[in-house]
């Protein structure tokens, strides 16, 4: 198992995804997944505004980054 796969199973990452989905209140979507071709985790969000999408992505990317640095 690679570090990117381990990060996806971390409770902190799962909690952050759940929090982001609640923040969007059904008006967007969140996708966090390990890349199949590169050594990284992809973080994507759709939201009513670019600002909301950026906030969600920034938060999730930080949580994933923190988990990968363990």
The CA angle 32-30-51, to the nearest 5 degrees, is 115
Q: Among residues 36, 33, 34, 58, which one has the least CA distance to residue 47?
A: 58
- Hey, is 25 helix, strand or coil? coil
Q: What is the DSSP letter of 1?
A: -
Q: With beta carbons less than 8 A apart as the criterion, state whether 34 and 5 touch.
A: yes
| pLDDT tens digit sequence for 39-61 | 889 999 999 999 999 999 999 99
Mean pLDDT for the stretch of residues 63-68? 89
* pTM of the predicted model as reported, rounded to 2 decimal places: 0.85
């Amino acid at each position: 198992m690679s570090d990117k796969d381990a990060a996806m199973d971390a409770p902190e990452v799962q909690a952050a995804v759940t929090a982001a989905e609640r923040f969007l209140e059904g008006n967007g979507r969140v996708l966090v997944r390990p890349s199949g071709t590169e050594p990284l985790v992809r973080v994507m969000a759709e939201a009513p505004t670019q600002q909301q999408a950026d906030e969600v992505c920034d938060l999730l990317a930080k949580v994933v980054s923190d988990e990968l640095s363990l």
